[in-house]
Amino acid sequence: MRDVAVIGIGMTKFGELWEKSFRNLFVEAAKAAMTDAGVDKIDSMYIGCMSGGLFVGQEHIGSLMADYLGVAPIPATRVESACASGGVAFRQAYIEVASGMSDVVLAGGVEKMTDVDGGMATYALATAADADYEGFHGATFPGLYAMMASAHMAKYGTTSEMLASISVKNHANGNLNPFAQFPSKITLEGVLNSTMVADPLHILDCSPVTDGAAAVIVASLDVAKKLGAPIVRIIGSGQATDSIALHGRDDITTINAAKVASQKALQQAGLSINDIDFAEVHDCFSIAELIVLESIGVFEPGKAGAAILDGYTARDGKFPVNPSGGLKSKGHPVGATGVAQIVELTKQLRGTAENGRQLANAKRGLAQNMGGTGGSSTVHILEA
């Protein structure tokens, strides 16, 4: 397999983007990535999109986006893996270039979630769970993650303050991100006193409904060098699945798909988790960030909460997590989230993160993206 690099990045601002259409969001991000890479031609592209049909009534997204980006007749493929759609799109682009099939490939993600009311958005998102055994019985994602949080609290003594500290930390980071949907800072007391959505999760433990798009250009290392692009290599890629429903798992206080995907990515890179400097992880709910960090080996089971509360994962901590603000503050347009994580890793590894978010000595970063409650997960490792 060939060495592959990320050579271009682009994304829209995340938020309630009433004035922008589904297709225009993707084109804006894709054009920004191509301009950043210094290319006007791509060999193919993959577009992560969880639920265009339910959110905006649009399927056949590969054809649509190739047309409106002006790159037809190249092959363009829509990728769906729930909230991991963007991560899987990026992995497919990486594999295509690494295999030698193509030299320059665009990986993008897009979702427009606010064109429907809250009930329809909840229904669309619930399709990432088990429709027969969870959705039919009224289980929504706040409820499912609340069960995971309750189980973790019962098993390890995790507290609501520990979970709230994750939201506070991510909003402090998002406050410095010009692309973030909710850049406002919040307090521990504010989280704990906010509306309870599904006990023990408050509304400020939950990521928002978001419109947005992100895109990256990946190319062979030889092409990257010829273009004179800053070299950010993809050195590890892993993907795994698990039972889609919580009742099918042995332990709901861990996410095995994230564990296996991280092991695969680290093995390919020839590294251990201790060799990674920072991470972007899938914090759709505060408990998700905590469980993911234990699942991928940053912390032993049951040890993440106290360490996070103590500042271990802050920007100036030993292992910074979600310097972008994460899904919680930056926003979570589900099809775009995994690609937006790669955008942030690339900025940090280039040394170009905005507004004081730049981490010191960032040489290797990890991105973990997952679908549903962890029924699917990707992990990628990038190196400056």
**What positions carry a catalytic annotation?**
83, 332
Say whether the peptide bond before residue 200 is cis (omega within 30 degrees of 0).
Answer: yes
Say whether the peptide bond before residue 73 is cis (omega within 30 degrees of 0).
Answer: yes
Pairing type for strands 278-280 and 364-371 reads parallel
Task: Name 378's bridge partners.
Answer: 239, 369
Closest CA to 318 of 327, 329, 310: 310
Structure tokens at 60: 């056949």
Give the whole-angstrom CA distance, residue 333 versus residue 212: 6
Q: Identify whether the C-beta of residue 354 lies closer than 8 Å to the C-beta of residue 326.
A: no
Task: Name 216's bridge partners.
Answer: 9, 107
Q: Identify whether the C-beta of residue 208 lies closer than 8 Å to the C-beta of residue 182.
A: yes
CA distance to 156, 178, 231, 328, 377, per residue, from 184 (Å): 31, 11, 33, 11, 29
Q: Per residue in 206-229, is it b (16+ CB within 10 Å) or e — as a string?
A: bbbbbbbbbbbbbbbbebbeebeb
Closest CA to 257 of 231, 274, 238, 233: 238
Q: Please tell me the total number of residues recorded for the chain in this structure.
A: 384
Closest CA to 181 of 332, 56, 323: 332
Closest CA to 39 of 234, 231, 213, 223: 223
Give the whole-angstrom CA distance, residue 232 versus residue 30: 18
Pairing type for strands 232-241 and 44-48 reads unpaired
